[in-house]
Amino acid sequence: MNLNTFDPEIANAIINELNRQRSGLEMIPSENFVSEAVLEALGSIMTNKYSEGFPGRRYYGGNEFTDQVETLAIERAKTIFRCDHANVQPLSGSPMNQAVYLAFLKPGDTILGMDLSHGGHLTHGAPVSHMGKLFNFVRYKTHPENLGKIDFDELTRIAKETKPKIVLCGYTSYPRDYDYADFKKVADEVGAITMADVAHIGGLIAGGAMRNPFDYGFDIVTTTTHKTLRGPRGGIILSKGKPGNPFKEPEMTKENIPTILDRSVFPGLQGGPHMNNIAAIAVALKEAMQPEFKVYAHQVIANAKVLANELIKQGMKLVTDGTDNHMMVANTIASFGIDGTSAEKTLEHAGITVNKQVIPDDPLPPYKPSGIRIGTPALTTRGMKEDEMRTIAGWIVEAIKNHDKPEVLENIHAQVKNMTAKFPLYPDL
């Protein structure tokens, strides 16, 4: 029996969500649209199979074809990110980072990561997260007077003082690229493992549009698969070095990093991998190896730069004054006297989806912060380019300035629908 007949409530919600995605401007930087090939693999019978273990070393029989799928995903990830080892089993970005921390740290050990209001992620030791309670996170920040670049003097001082076991770089709301060589230098001085969480920019690195931490000697790179990488939800842990026998406890040495990581994911943190998801990740990675993906990755950044410049021209103050990647953080309070939560609601009314966002050292609370975060990956996947970005920047500012005038918001919404109709999404669904 198909979904429509058996469970019309769920079927209808899915259709309504499809229409919402089709008719609105999706500008949350962590979102994207997967291909129909990815959807097909994701909805496949691979979901029925238990495959605890790794290709060729499973705890269950019948894994001939799941082995093929996982091996292809691993090999493609290694090729794309130019490294020796990939674990494609983490169920999403959070367990992926947890698996790395738990692999190398004991409770109370220190990690140096980015301050949350300056761009760090929840999994980088937010006090409300289990990881934040379990480990001692110390933080670096951006420099307010240096276009929001990392304050490396302070970072070096903190590292020398606290001797972290992991130096973590990576962000969820930081519009610049990192100087990985500087991080590596500090980490070497204090004998720490270098970890880059490129969850947001994995696709931009895959497409050759941003720096690859492995080119700067990093030990470990983690990425989600569903943000700029444009796959299903998931996480990949990448490292240098060849893995040994995952069934034997290895010594804690740098050579054993791949084996330690594999064992940390399974059996350390997870049981059976989601094989339908891994099949879909493999498809997304094959897409990321095509020449079109390079074009997409560069266009994501070109679109973000145009959008940022237009917003600035129209009076929007952006944290870091512009962008090097796919996102920007707008200080809506300083620009137009409206907080991020109200700006998010206003834009939703106008058919534009963004999210509220804390700004560095935000004086306002996280549920009503000073700004919003805006990104271009999903619209770029739909085929939008610089011209559309200019128009959209105008709508964003017009909507925020007229947040108390529903007729203006309705009018923008109508224009948004006209524009999105010209960029069909999932025409065959």
Please report, as ranges, the residues that interact with ligand PLP according to CB under 6 A. 30, 92-94, 97, 121, 123, 170-172, 197, 199-200, 224, 233
Least distance to ligand PLP, CB of residue 423, Å: 25
- Give CA–CA dist 35/272, Å, rounded: 25
Residue nearest ligand PLP by beta-carbon distance:
93
Helix, strand, coil content of the chain in percent (nearest 5): 50, 15, 35
Q: What is the DSSP string of 364-390?
A: S-TTS-SEEEEE-HHHHHTT--HHHHH
The type of residue at 282 is A
Q: 252 phi and psi, to 5 degrees?
A: -80, 75
User: Which residue(s) pair with 372 in the sheet?
Assistant: 330, 356
Dihedral-angle region of residue 419 (phi above 0 means left; psi in -120 to 50 means alpha; beta otherwise): alpha
CB nearer to ligand PLP: pick between 199 and 333 = 199
Given 52, 84, 177, 179, the catalytic residue: 52
Mention every residue, 6+ apart, whose C-beta is less than 8 A from residue 138.
Answer: 110, 111, 112, 113, 158, 162, 164
Q: Tell me which H or E stretch contains 162.
A: helix 152-162
CB nearer to ligand PLP: pick between 224 and 346 = 224
Question: CA 20, 22, 24, 26 torsion: positive or negative?
Answer: positive
Given 172, 224, 323, 341, the catalytic residue: 224
Least distance to ligand PLP, CB of residue 377, Å: 12
CB nearer to ligand PLP: pick between 231 and 351 = 231
- Give CA–CA dist 419/183, Å, rounded: 43
Given 26, 70, 151, 197, the catalytic residue: 197
227 is catalytic: yes
Given 233, 368, 401, 417, the catalytic residue: 233
- Give CA–CA dist 334/168, Å, rounded: 31
Axis-axis angle for helices 64-81, 275-288 (nearest 10): 40
Nearest to 386 by CA among 301, 325, 266, 283: 301
> What separation, in Å, do the N-terminal and C-terminal C-alpha atoms of the chain show?
19
60 is catalytic: no
CB nearer to ligand PLP: pick between 246 and 340 = 340
CB nearer to ligand PLP: pick between 70 and 197 = 197
Given 22, 49, 176, 227, the catalytic residue: 227
Q: Are 214 and 200 in contact (CB under 8 A)?
A: no
Least distance to ligand PLP, CB of residue 140, Å: 15
CB nearer to ligand PLP: pick between 97 and 325 = 97
Least distance to ligand PLP, CB of residue 223, Å: 9
CB nearer to ligand PLP: pick between 327 and 379 = 327
| Other beta carbons less than 10 A from residue 398's beta carbon | 16
Least distance to ligand PLP, CB of residue 65, Å: 26
Q: 300 phi and psi, to 5 degrees?
A: -55, -45
224 is catalytic: yes
52 is catalytic: yes
Least distance to ligand PLP, CB of residue 129, Å: 11
Catalytic residues: 50, 52, 197, 224, 227, 233
